[in-house]
């Protein structure tokens, strides 16, 4: 396996062309996502968080600037099956079983089939006994467990999580946040998590980047040095509440107040 | 929604490119085949139309009127049937089965019988036009009436309102896009029905001119009439689409998905319940048949009752001979209908795969295919016979073309149903176009493919029998035509029963396969 590398965004900007004219989604950004750590990105709705993630995934081309993962471009990493992305929609293929869906990423990453590892992962995400079920028979939370297992099946260096638990209910989400991140964090993968939930960001990440309203700029960069492993008791700790306040403040300041100072007065 | 609304505008220039390309290729082919009496180019077609403007426009007006009347009647019947099925859910499958059987009646035989009953006027062609449209509208409407989000229905029910309020307030509006799509697809079918009706001995109309031109081997006239029929169908198709967009009823994503059953399957199991349905539907059809004949007091000489057919095929002394004649003709028809059916499906799906994998091609091929889908193919049958001769190749080709365009359009739509995140997933591994086709898009296409395979069954048999009647002089199409002209009404009615039963049974068989496929490939469509 390749040594883990930082993900560096250098002067990264994205402008979308629409009929109404150019819509800048990302202002030129310089961010380094540290190798082997989990970084959460939070920001107001539509601020360009997902665009940033899609750029890193190589699903969009930057308008200017570049992204380097070590010395490689996202396209290079794609081609060697080095990155995996999870979406808000589990995006499972309805005609494949749980096992077939998890194994799919190994196939796409051009890796040899490894049924044993696939079954192990299914057990790790808590779905043993469901290997031969189809997505239609699973609940929303179970589908996202499959999606995460699918991400991990190709042993990626870089994991991109676009609100994977965003559509789930709060209880399910907390349970998944508690169980799943350890799976990639123990493996040492670099992870970038886009989320709307301040609690999720603090609970899961080593660092939180707060983006401003569109076009996105880095508004705050907050280190989360809560000890690991984290369990739900951490939610009641003063450190957690302090971090929560910092992130919430940063989000509030990045909102309409800054652009319309008169309202804030 | 915006993407859908913008589509026509974006496609218009490429549609024009496609049309110009078709015209050019047509003229070049005509010049290359000059002297072979196969093909008349657009220039000579235009010249013919200028010369005979009065004749053709009068004929068009007559046919258009019959088609329009049949279109309105057929669609009203479809709406009434759909409402009935919705208000009395228990009767739904029975209504659908009887409606299917009636739509499978072969025009080649019902046309002459209607002619005997209705005389030389326009009643037969109006009836055939109505018969040609009502089932497809009924199907699309049933899907549409079911498409309402259940939360909307719960809203209505939470005020203690009944099913009728539910239909008026929610389902009618939610199903409008489906109704428009059904009207769009069936408009050319109405034209086709009217023309086939005129083939059976009307005094005026496009069908009369087409038969005359074909019998006189007038290549230019044949091409000119087919062109006018096609252009009319395309215009009506486009016009209804335009009205739909004005009503803000953008085309629904999949219009041909199988109606999900509202009732749990019975304890008999799926096959058992289908057999039971078949038995009940058969009884209903026999009752309806005999009842209508007796009600209108139709002459037994040409209006045979079920017992006459039973006698002719089973109890008569020479029943074995009758059966032999009937089934050998049927077999002959199947030898051209089945290959044409499979060929049309495979070519349609195959070209859809190519179109989706080469987006540059899609912008030209798709508008052209959508336009060509609206051509009443049967009316071009004389052309294909001119080109391919009177052998089974001609029949196979007509059947294949009849099925090809709807399948192509449905499959392209189906492949576009593959959800964006799934395609993104494949892209994050730099998966090749072929890989995402094979693993994501083609499986996602299967529901649409099987929906068109199901709808195509009656279309294939219709195309095959009409081609046999007009051109090849073989198979059950020809047998029905000869029976009609020699007043062998017992044979004619027996053919109707056998052809419609075969057609409906094949339809049922394909929809069983479709259900199997849907449970795996689109389980959400069944559970909705």
Query: What was the ipTM of the complex prediction?
Result: 0.83
C-alpha to C-alpha distances, A254 to A220, B162, B304, nearest whole angstrom? 9, 50, 83
A59 touches chain B (CB under 8 A): yes
Give the A:B interface size as CB pairs under 8 Å: 61
CA A145 to chain centre: 14
Minimal Cβ distance to A109: which of B419, B427, B429 = B429
Structure confidence at residue B29 as a pLDDT band (50, 70, 90): confident
Structure confidence at residue B377 as a pLDDT band (50, 70, 90): low
B425 touches chain A (CB under 8 A): yes
Which residues on chain B are in Cβ contact (under 8 Å) with A59?
424, 427-428
| Cα(B276)–Cα(B186) distance, integer angstroms | 31
Structure confidence at residue B210 as a pLDDT band (50, 70, 90): confident
A199 within 8 A of A251, measured Cβ to Cβ: no
Neighbouring C-beta atoms of residue A263, cutoff 10 Å: 8
| Cα(A152)–Cα(A160) distance, integer angstroms | 11
Better pLDDT: B147 or A56: A56
Structure confidence at residue A191 as a pLDDT band (50, 70, 90): very high
- Percent of chain B scoring above 90 in pLDDT: 24
First to last CA, chain B: 21
Structure confidence at residue B528 as a pLDDT band (50, 70, 90): very low
| Cα(A26)–Cα(A11) distance, integer angstroms | 10
| Cα(B212)–Cα(B135) distance, integer angstroms | 31
Better pLDDT: B524 or A55: A55
Query: In chain A, whose CA is at the least distance from the CA of B421?
Result: A91
Query: In chain A, whose CA is at the least distance from the CA of B519?
Result: A95
Please report the pLDDT score of residue B373 as a whole number. Answer: 66
- Judged by DSSP in three states, B366 sits in helix
Residue with tokens 């009065």: B54
Non-local CB neighbours of B282 within 8 Å, separated by 6+ positions: none
pLDDT digits 0-9 by tens, B505-525: 999 899 888 888 887 776 555
| Cα(B370)–Cα(B22) distance, integer angstroms | 14
Q: State the average pLDDT over residues B205-217.
A: 84
Long-range Cβ contacts of A105-113 (<8 Å, 24+ apart): A105/A81, A105/A150, A105/A151, A105/A153, A105/A154, A105/B429, A106/A153, A106/A154, A107/B439, A108/A81, A108/A154, A108/B425, A108/B426, A108/B429, A108/B431, A108/B435, A109/A80, A109/A81, A109/A154, A109/A156, A109/B429, A110/A81, A111/A81, A111/A154
Please report the pLDDT score of residue B375 as a whole number. Answer: 65
Query: In chain A, whose CA is at the least distance from the CA of B432?
Result: A108
Please report the pLDDT score of residue B519 as a whole number. Answer: 79
DSSP B186-244: HHHHHHHHHHHHHHTT-SSSHHHHHHHHHHTT-HHHHHHHHHHHHHHHHHHHHHHHHHH
B445 touches chain A (CB under 8 A): no
Decide if A94 and B523 are in contact by the 8 Å CB cutoff.
yes
B448 within 8 A of B417, measured Cβ to Cβ: yes
B435 touches chain A (CB under 8 A): yes
Decide if A87 and B421 are in contact by the 8 Å CB cutoff.
yes
Report the gap between the CA of B242 and the closest CA in chain A (Å).
Answer: 23
């Amino acid at each position: 396996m390749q040594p883990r590398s930082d993900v560096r965004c250098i002067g990264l900007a994205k402008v979308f062309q629409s009929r109404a004219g150019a819509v800048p989604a990302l202002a030129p950004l310089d961010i380094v996502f540290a190798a082997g750590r989990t970084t959460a990105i939070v920001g107001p709705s539509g601020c360009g968080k997902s665009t940033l993630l899609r750029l890193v995934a190589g699903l969009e081309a930057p308008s200017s600037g570049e992204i380097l993962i070590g010395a490689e471009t996202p396209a290079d990493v794609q081609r060697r099956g080095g990155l995996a992305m999870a979406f808000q929609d589990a995006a499972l293929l309805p005609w494949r079983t749980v096992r077939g869906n998890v194994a799919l990423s190994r196939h796409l990453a051009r890796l040899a089939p490894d049924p044993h590892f696939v079954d192990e992962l299914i057990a790790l995400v808590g779905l043993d006994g469901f290997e031969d079920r189809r997505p239609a028979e699973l609940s929303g939370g179970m589908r996202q467990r499959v999606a995460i297992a699918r991400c991990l099946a190709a042993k990626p260096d870089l994991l991109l999580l676009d609100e994977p638990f965003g559509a789930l209910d709060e209880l399910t989400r907390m349970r998944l946040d508690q169980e799943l991140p350890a799976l990639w964090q123990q493996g040492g993968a670099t992870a970038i998590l886009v989320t709307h939930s301040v609690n999720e960001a603090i609970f899961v990440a080593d660092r939180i980047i707060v983006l401003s309203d569109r076009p996105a700029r880095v508004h705050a960069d907050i280190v989360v040095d809560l000890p690991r492993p984290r369990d739900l008791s951490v939610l009641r700790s003063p450190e957690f509440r302090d971090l929560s306040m910092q992130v919430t403040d940063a989000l509030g300041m990045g909102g309409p107040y800054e652009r319309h100072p008169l309202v804030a007065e | 929604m915006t993407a859908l609304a913008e589509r026509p505008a974006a496609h218009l220039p490429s549609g024009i490119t496609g049309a110009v390309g078709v015209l050019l290729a047509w003229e070049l082919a005509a010049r290359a085949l000059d002297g072979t009496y196969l093909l008349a180019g657009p220039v000579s077609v235009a010249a013919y139309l200028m010369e005979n403007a009065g004749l053709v426009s009068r004929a068009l007006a007559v046919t258009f009127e019959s088609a329009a009347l049949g279109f309105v009647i057929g669609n009203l019947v479809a709406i009434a049937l759909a409402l009935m099925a919705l208000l009395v859910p228990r009767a739904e499958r029975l209504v659908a089965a009887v409606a299917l059987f009636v739509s499978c009646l072969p025009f080649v035989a019902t046309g002459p019988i209607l002619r005997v009953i209705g005389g030389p006027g326009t009643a037969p062609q109006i009836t055939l036009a109505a018969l040609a449209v009502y089932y497809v509208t009924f199907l699309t409407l049933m899907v549409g009436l079911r498409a309402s989000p259940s939360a909307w229905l719960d809203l209505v029910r939470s005020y203690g309102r009944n099913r009728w309020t539910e239909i008026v307030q929610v389902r009618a509006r939610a199903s409008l896009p489906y109704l428009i799509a059904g009207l769009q697809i069936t408009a050319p079918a109405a034209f086709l029905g009217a023309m086939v009706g005129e083939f059976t001995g009307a005094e005026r109309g496009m069908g009369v001119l087409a038969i005359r031109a074909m019998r006189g081997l007038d290549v230019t006239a044949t091409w000119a009439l087919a062109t006018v029929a096609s252009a009319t169908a395309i215009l009506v198709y486009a016009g209804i689409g335009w009205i739909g967009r004005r009503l803000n009823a953008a085309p629904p994503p999949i219009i041909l998905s199988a109606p999900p059953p509202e009732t749990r399957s019975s304890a008999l199991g799926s096959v058992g319940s289908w057999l039971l349905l078949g038995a009940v539907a058969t009884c209903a059809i026999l009752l309806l048949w005999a009842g209508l004949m007796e009600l209108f007091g139709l002459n037994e000489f040409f209006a045979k009752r079920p017992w006459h057919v039973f006698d002719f095929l089973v109890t008569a002394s020479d029943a074995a001979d009758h059966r032999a004649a009937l089934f050998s003709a049927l077999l002959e028809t199947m030898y051209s209908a089945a290959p044409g059916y499979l060929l049309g499906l495979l070519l349609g799906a195959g070209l859809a795969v190519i179109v989706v994998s080469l987006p540059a091609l899609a912008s030209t091929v798709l508008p052209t295919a959508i336009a060509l889908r609206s051509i009443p193919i049967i009316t071009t049958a004389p052309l294909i016979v001119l080109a391919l001769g009177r052998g089974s190749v001609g029949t196979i080709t007509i059947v294949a073309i009849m099925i090809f365009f709807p399948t192509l359009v449905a499959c392209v739509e189906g492949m576009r149903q593959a959800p964006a995140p799934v395609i993104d997933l494949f892209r994050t591994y730099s998966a090749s176009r072929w890989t995402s086709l094979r693993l994501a898009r083609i499986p996602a296409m299967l529901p649409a493919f099987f929906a068109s395979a199901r709808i195509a069954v009656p279309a294939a048999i219709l195309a095959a029998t009409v081609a046999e009647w007009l051109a090849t002089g073989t198979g059950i199409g020809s047998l029905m035509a000869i029976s009609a002209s020699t007043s062998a009404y017992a044979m004619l009615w027996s053919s109707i029963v056998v052809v419609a039963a075969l057609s409906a049974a094949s339809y049922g068989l394909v929809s069983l396969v479709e259900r199997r496929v849907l449970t795996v490939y689109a389980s959400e469509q069944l559970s909705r």
